[in-house]
Structure 1
Amino acid sequence: MKAKKISLFMAIISLVLIIAGCSGGGKSSSTTTTSGASEGGALKEELHYASNAQPPSLDPLMSNAVVTREVASIIYESLVAFDENYEPVPMLAESIEQSEDGKTYTFKLRQGVKFHNGKEMKAEDVVASLTRWAEKSSSARAVLVDPVFAEVDEYTVTLTLGQGTTLALGALANVSHLAAIMPKEIVESAPESGVTEFIGTGPYKFVEWKQDQYLKFTKFDDYVALDTPASGLSGKKEALVKDVYYDIVLDPSTQLTGVQTGEYDIAGGILQDDLAQVEANKDLAHITPFSMNYSILLNRKEGPFTSKEMRQAVSLALDHDSLAAVAAVGNYTISPSLMPKHIEKWSTEAGAEFFNQKDTEKAKSLLKEAGYNGETVTILTTRDYPVMYNEAVAMKEQLGAIGINVELLVYDWATALAEVRSSPEDWDLFTTSFPGVPSPAEMLYFAEGYFDGAESDTQKELLAKIRSAATHEEAKQYWEELQTHSIEDVKIITTFGLNAIHAYSNKVDGYKYFDVPVFWNVKVAE
């Protein structure tokens, strides 16, 4: 049987080409090299990172919250990881072979990799971990058909699928619901609420979690690093500081003050309004990685937006540039691409003719065609995320200008999410946001368990074709069709992409953000 093989050798060649050919400018994983830690001076043993959220769980399969994936990526690793170009390359796997029909993947495992409890990672651990992942991960459910993981020998694992797909390795590399490899005994003893011991193979191991204060991680002395160049979340990882503190700092102004005074080395929740202070401070640097696509979910189950004409009227009336200017100030991008633009292999302008049209006269005509007669349209939003609330206020004004009677329904975020799922009769539009995913098939709003999912036959058929396509090029053609259909039919309105602001001391060298904060290969000068 012919087979395609991905090996560490090929990964090295790929990463060398990346480093030689790319400056890194404009990437979501931008880094800044600073002098303090790179000139041979004394180094700190601690790094303090200020986060604006506390994880609901440290088990990556128990939550798809961004903060859970951030802390899980410190502890755990998977068989594959994304490089700078969002290509999955071997991490805990030494090599990967794919059968010609795309239904069987054979993973040769790296030997000598240790868990944080001292046990060597072997095939039984991988099979137990990934069988659980396949059951619980939204990416696995979206991409894999009838997956079965099996042990061939102590260092070989196979994945057998009921249908071939080019998306399997990307799903395994996804940091949301990370396919974390854990010891078999921890996986098998886990209750429904999640694992109770947090033991992985990463360069840092978990030490303690003081609720509402911090999570502490310390260098794992027995970590076995790859010798391939670091790229994205792949390649060589070195713990260059002894202890990493993930400090829970909910107030953005406290984060700003802390990074200015040196209490925090890195602050991951800086507001756009405070960026000028960061830029004016010679002791600070910053990066602006992609954060979320801010979007308007339309209630297509009941109410006025079961009408396509009503949905299109709203889409035509909205001025995305004005919405973004009010809600996100200056830290945003506007694009018809439903996939984040930095994921270049999937980003596309398909459907641009139906995007951000700002045609109020045509919108008014469609309102008449739909029989709209002044009924109240309810926008569900939250003050917990000011960007969402500010967008809702601006949207109310824009829709009012074409004659739609709008009222805001404002809840805390948890209640708003509950309303979306349990009380569709109470709302018509919902301000929300979505992080990036490895492929369109893994987008949350196409998932069966999310509000309306892929509710049309066209959406279901095109998603199935994306999953089963023999090549990426074929899959992308189907995605371009699906994106065009989704924009024209107004499945969802993606208004703008928001970038986060991470400020850090000039004493920090090597920090980057690539879907998660990257703490390995980072130095902090005294």
Structure 2
Amino acid sequence: MRLPARLLPVAAVTAASALLTGCFAGAESSAGPSANGDGKRVRLAMMQPPRSGLSPLSDDAFKLSRWSTAETLVKLDADGDARPALATKWEQSGRSWTFEIRDGVTFHDGSELTAEAVVRSLTRAATASPKPRILDGVELTAKAEDGRVVVTTAAEDPLVPQRLSSPQLAVLAARAYAGKTVNPVGAGTGPFELTKVNGTSSATLDRYDGYWGGRAKSPGIDVKFVPDGTARAAALRSGEADIVEAVPVSQAAVLDQDLITEVPMPRTNTLYLNTEKGVFKDAGLRAAAREAVDAQSIVEGVYEGRADVAEGLLGPALPWAAGLRSPVRRAEPGDPSGRSVTIGTFTDRAELPEVAAALQQQLQKAGFRVKLEIREYATIESDALAGEFDAFVLSRATVLDSGDPAAYLYSDFGSDGSFNISQLAEKSVDAALDKASGAKAGAARRKAVIEAEAAVLATDAAVPMLHERVIQGDAAGVTGAAHDPRERELVTAATYVK
């Protein structure tokens, strides 16, 4: 039985603190005030270590973005609309978009940002294998023309600017592409230069005084990767970290409430069911699993009420979604008696093993025989994508890349989607996804997105359970840390420690 956070044994807290002892040692001398009177360096405890050597073509791109070291042509505002970044303006003509490149920008190695540099980065991403997921289903080419960048897609795409806001399409200096893999060290344009990476344990960034947007308030960032959630919370409690991302719900109650911020996330905790093989190839047994899930008890028992029960794949972070939904027709539940299934999930998000354990009990009560397989994400992702599990529990951001959920729906549920854990190949779903992907931004697109969500839900390939809220810890001396639902910003040029 799970102990309430406030009743955790002293030994557990002590052990967690021990994991952090010396965590930021070695940065101690640089953590103090800089010689010119600026704030101290920011000590940052992050949840997941790099999985792909910090390549921007992987999910590691979001670390580069959250450290304000790599930048994109476009950024998104709070409403998900495109705003200037390394590009100052753009216009569409059919399948092509022309972007004006900002003057006076230099990379961290001193080289100049040019249209040719932008084309090099976009071309590397567009021709990568696998592609960054923001380009799932998109054929994109880029060329330099009179100092501007012309981006052309195979089909007219109303979301090209939003796509180019994805951290996976960051623009880096030529040096980043010298080898077979993309190396972002010393190659960004942001207010902080990535100067050192120590495998999966730490990273160091120093202020880049030539930043086009103005000098950062902090002299640098010292990053430690701390997968253990209790240890991250202990780092905030002990003062060893200034900013802690993804504080586990189980730890939030024992922290000073003035030091934590809770933000509804466009992130859904979903049970993905394998539609290609095994027990859940049967639509009736998928329906039986869906009926067995009691999301409310998971919200109360695992998340201590710090989450929202899901009514669909898209949650309250997209407030327009609920008002557009209609009832979904689904298959009738079959008889699961004695059918054996394996549910996979990972340890990197502290709540997921508990969610899996709760699901095990709920499905067993319905008649299934359930085995759990729980590992670190780095060792389980490939098996999940290959369809090696009957079911998989995943916490998934729904507007991570473009600010538009159509990309997430295509990636996770399209026949050609790069993150199709459910192995779903359904013509009606593909047709709805194509319609949503091609719709113009605005009311028509939102309506098409909800229709695509309904098409997915009708298959029971995914059982959305809850929408998460992110809990971030900021020490008392931290000023200007970002609290970003999209998980793109964290330490910015305005962030410093008093």
> Does TM, scored on the shorter chain, surpass 0.5?
yes
Query: In structure 2, what is the equivalent of residue 76 of structure 1?
Result: 70
CA contact (8 A) 1:286 1:501 kept: yes
**Corresponding residue for 1:5?**
none
- The aligned counterpart of 2:12 is none
Structure 2 partner of 1:173: 165
Correspondent of 2:82 among 85, 88, 103 = 88
Which of 362, 365, 368 is the matching residue for 1:401?
365
Distance in 1, matches of 2:133 and 2:438, equals 15
Q: What stretches of structure 1 of length at least 5 have no aligned partner? A: 1-41, 226-236, 358-362
- Greater shift, 125-134 or 261-270, is seen at 261-270
How many angstroms does 1:470 deviate by? 3.6
Question: Taking structure 1 as reference, are residues 160 and 115 closer, same or farther at Cα in structure 2, changes over 3 Å only?
Answer: same
Q: CA RMSD in A?
A: 2.7
Q: Is the 8 A contact 1:59 1:198 kept in 2?
A: no
Matches of 1:86 and 1:133 in 2, distance apart?
22
Give yes or no for the alignment of 1:122 onto 2:125: no
- Aligned AA for 1:138? P
1:109 aligns with 2:101: yes
CA distance in 2, matches of 1:277, 1:375: 41
The 8 Å contact of residues 204 and 218 in structure 1, kept in 2 or not, is answered as: yes
2:240 to 245, 263, 271: 263
Say whether residues 1:183 and 2:173 are aligned partners.
yes
- Shift, 1:72, TM fit: 4.2
Are the aligned partners of 1:50 and 1:269 in contact in 2 as well (CA < 8 Å)?
Answer: no
Partner of 1:431: 393
Does structure 2 retain, via aligned residues, the 8 Å contact 1:288–1:501? Answer: yes
Cα shift at 1:387: 1.8
Summarize the Cα distance change of 1:523–1:380 in structure 2 as closer, same or farther, 3 Å threshold: closer
Tell me how far 1:252 sits from its aligned partner.
Answer: 3.1
SS at match of 1:75: coil
Aligned equivalents of 1:408, 1:158: Cα separation in 2:
49
Q: Measure how far apart 1:456 and its partner are.
A: 0.5
For 1:295 and 1:333, locate their aligned partners in 2 and report how far apart those are by CA, in whole Å: 13
CA separation of 1:410/1:93 partners in 2, compared to 1, >3 Å: closer, same or farther?
A: closer
Is 1:519 equivalent to 2:491 in the alignment? yes
Long gaps (5+) in structure 2 = 1-36
Offset at residue 140 of structure 1 (A): 4.2
Distance 1:266 1:83, change over 3 A: same
SS of 1:513's partner is coil
Asked if the contact 2:105/2:189 (under 8 Å) is kept, the reply is: yes
Q: SS in structure 1 opposite 2:256?
A: helix
Decide whether the 8 Å contact of 2:42 with 2:242 is kept in 1: yes
Q: What SS does structure 2 have at the residue aligned with 1:277?
A: coil
Partner of 1:61: 56
Instruction: Give the structure 2 partner of residue 304 of structure 1.
Output: 279
Corresponding residue for residue 46 of structure 2: 51
**Matching residue of 1:31:** none
Are the equivalent residues in 2 in contact too, given 1:303–1:428 (CA < 8 A)? Answer: yes
| 8 Å contact from structure 1 (residues 296, 430) kept in 2 | yes
Equivalent of 1:323 in 273, 276, 298: 298
User: 2-side partners of 1:411 and 1:44: how far apart?
Assistant: 39
**Percent same amino acid among aligned pairs?**
21
1:249 pairs with 2:226:
yes
Residues 524, 201 of structure 1: alpha-carbon distance in 2 compared, 3 angstrom cutoff? closer
Offset from partner CA, 1:380-430 (integer Å, 9 cap, x none): 334554422211221122223332333333444344333334463xx3222
Residue 293 in 1 paired to residue 268 in 2?
Answer: yes
Figure out how many residues of one structure are paired with residues of the other and give that number. 449
Q: Would you say the 8 A contact 2:266–2:315 is kept in 1?
A: no
Task: Give the distance between the partners of 1:259 and 1:386, measured in 2 at CA.
Answer: 17
Counterpart in the other structure of 1:440:
405
Q: How far did 1:300 drift?
A: 0.6
Amino acid at match of 2:306: N
Conserved 8 A contact 1:85-1:343 = no
Q: Does 1:279 align with 2:246?
A: no
Instruction: Tell me the distance in 1 between the aligned counterparts of 2:358 and 2:81.
Output: 38
Residue 472 (structure 2) pairs with residue 506 (structure 1):
no
Q: Which moved more, 1:334-343 or 1:83-92?
A: 334-343
